[in-house]
Amino acid sequence: MKFYRSTLICTGITFMVGLPTIAQTGPGFVDDVADAPIPGIALAIAAAIGIGCYKLRKRN
């Protein structure tokens, strides 16, 4: 498997957006934790990243 520049860029952007989101989801396993809904803007950003990665891979 070859690692292309676009693959590394897409992976890097995904980690830069995803890790802070995962880190802020809430405390560990506690009995009374309320669910944290995914905001619409985070979903839109994730979709844009996915579409961008698809187009970069398709272009190469």
- Each domain of the chain, given as residue ranges in start order, spans 1-19+40-60
pLDDT (0 to 100) of residue 25: 64
What is the DSSP-derived secondary structure letter of residue 28?
Answer: S
60 or 55, which is more confident? 55
The answer to whether the beta carbons of residues 9 and 55 sit under 8 Å apart is no
Question: What is this structure's pTM?
Answer: 0.39
Whether 46 shows a pLDDT value over 80: the answer reads yes
Condensed to tens digits (0 to 9), the pLDDT of residues 1-41 reads 566 787 788 888 888 888 777 776 666 666 655 666 667 77
b or e along 11-46 (b: 16 or more beta carbons within 10 Å of the residue's beta carbon)? eeeeeeeeeeeeeeeeeeeeeeeeeeeeeeeeeeee
